[in-house]
Amino acid sequence: MPRSNTETTAKPLLRALRGEALTRPPFWLMRQAGRYLPEYQAIRAEAKDFLALCYTPSLAAEISLQPVRRFHMDAAILFADILLVPDALGQNVAFIEGEGPVLEPINSEAAVAHLDPERLEEHLAPVLETVRQLRRQLDGTTALIGFAGAPWTVATYMVDGRGGTGAAAARKWACAAPESFATLIDLLIDATARYLSAQVASGAEAVQLFDTWAGLLPEQEFARWCTDATAQIVHRLRADHPDVAVIAYLRGVSTCLPAYAARTGVDAISIDSTVPLEWTVEALQPKVTVQGNLDPVAVVVGGEVMRQQATRILDVLGRGPFVFNLGHGVLPETPPDHVAELADLVRSWGP
Ligand code: CP3
């Protein structure tokens, strides 16, 4: 039984997100656009830097469509980054070749007060234009997914200033002075809700929140910084757009997911590759649509390893409301031929 009584749309991804079990599960891949594709590398080589790509609608739209043209996924995901929100708030963000993102760290309430939420919509206007261009270019069966980082995960980069730190600085601030850290999380809840609402108004049909670093938090802090924060965003987004489908991706919190799904009201949970499949069928899939969770390393390796792991996921989860995806993003060293074989495998699977 679909959970929603709104009119069923023709797009398979949106049907699955509404709780329908389809004979052939729809699929897309996190980080499906990007460095493993030579056609992305070609555009990237011509651009000033990664941020310039994100803020140039014609290029960003083209990059979003590249994997869909090659592999015929059921969705295109907006080409952008979760760190565009701190950039729009006025924090200094740079993507350094070979190093990843580098931000001027924010570590006090005074620094939070210097951020300027007023500039958000204006600064992110090019991204919303990308969404409009994409929606015009997609056919009647391919869905358009917008996205943002969840507040905790974005805060880890804003406070630590880079990845690879285990979010040490953000963890310490959140643990030592939660009311002070809450000023940053509250600002991000507001900014993220407005940004996602604007993406939907511009044509995104579903949105995904990325909470990649949720698994770093102990139970009670997870409840506050991840569950409660996302619940507030979903509530605000639904006030503007009651029918929009919301997917949440979290890493490293498997047994917390059923309560998280119930409390946040998301339509789908995207599970990482460590989440046990049989447990998922019992504990999670009866409550929400499940998305996931092939190990990205298996797609780098390819061949029988990839086929065996993908088939097991489809056999166990494929009958419920399900969207095939990876457990994390496509790795840059992934051979595009392996992705093509994976796409064929998912399309030809039958229960
Ligand atoms: O999925 C897609 O195809 C859409 C675009 C997208 C990007 N980043 C493009 C990107 C999405 C959805 C993201 C999400 C994102 N960004 C997350 C959450 C998901 C995850 O992977 O955990 C996070 C934590 C970020 C922050 C970020 N952006 C990091 C840590 C890095 C450097 C590491 C890396 O993978 O390069 C980026 C850069 C980035 N974002 C690239 C792309 C295509 C590579 C930029 C380049 O061309 O050099």
Q: Residue 35: CB within 6 Å of ligand 1?
A: yes
What is the residue-averaged pLDDT of the chain? Answer: 96
32 DSSP 8-state letter: -
d(CA 219, CA 233): 20
Residue 201 pairs with which residues in a beta bridge? none
Mapped onto helix, strand or coil, the DSSP state of residue 284 is coil
The pLDDT score that the predictor gives to residue 134 is 98
Report whether 249 contacts 212 (CB < 8 A): yes
The pLDDT score that the predictor gives to residue 138 is 96
Q: Residue 50: CB within 6 Å of ligand 1?
A: yes
Q: Which residues are catalytic?
A: 31, 35, 44, 81, 157
What is the CA(30)–ligand 1 centre distance, in A? 9
- Type of residue at 252: G
d(CA 23, CA 349): 9
The ligand 1 atom nearest the CA atom of 80: 5
d(CA 222, CA 178): 12
Mapped onto helix, strand or coil, the DSSP state of residue 36 is coil
CA atoms within 13 A on the CB side of 172: 10
Q: Which of 65, 81, 91, 209 to mutate to test the pocket of ligand 1 (most atoms within 8 A of CB)?
A: 81
The pLDDT score that the predictor gives to residue 9 is 60
**Whose alpha carbon is nearest atom 22 of ligand 1?**
212
Q: How far is CA 2 from CA 129, 288, 315, in A?
A: 32, 11, 21
d(CA 36, CA 32): 9
Work out the angle at residue 150's Cα, subtended by the Cα atoms of residues 145 and 151, and round it to the nearest 5 degrees.
150
Residue 96 pairs with which residues in a beta bridge? 100
Weakly modelled stretches of the chain, pLDDT under 70? 1-9
The ligand 1 atom nearest the CA atom of 40: 47
The pLDDT score that the predictor gives to residue 84 is 98
- What crossing angle do the helices spanning 229-240 and 178-202 adopt, rounded to 10°? 30
The ligand 1 atom nearest the CA atom of 34: 43
Task: Output b/e per residue, 80-111; b: 16+ Cβ within 10 A.
Answer: bbbbbbbbbbebebebeeeeebbbebbbeeeb
**Whose alpha carbon is nearest atom 6 of ligand 1?**
81
What is the CA(31)–ligand 1 centre distance, in A? 7
**Whose alpha carbon is nearest atom 32 of ligand 1?**
100
Report whether 303 contacts 325 (CB < 8 A): no
DSSP 201-266: HHT-SEEEEEETTGGGS-HHHIIIIIIIHHHHHHHHHHHH-TT-EEEEEESS-GGGHHHHHHHH--
d(CA 105, CA 126): 25
**Whose alpha carbon is nearest atom 24 of ligand 1?**
212
Report whether 312 contacts 277 (CB < 8 A): yes
Report whether 124 contacts 195 (CB < 8 A): yes
Report whether 18 contacts 4 (CB < 8 A): yes
The pLDDT score that the predictor gives to residue 4 is 46
Q: Is the peptide bond before 325 cis (omega within 30 degrees of 0)?
A: no
Q: How far is CA 72 from CA 66, 117, 296, 343, in A?
A: 10, 37, 19, 8
Q: Which two tokens stand for residue 165?
A: 């730190």
CA atoms within 13 A on the CB side of 313: 29
Helix H or strand E segment including 302: none
The pLDDT score that the predictor gives to residue 98 is 86
Helix H or strand E segment including 138: none
The ligand 1 atom nearest the CA atom of 251: 22
Report whether 74 contacts 27 (CB < 8 A): yes
Q: Which two tokens stand for residue 206?
A: 């579903």
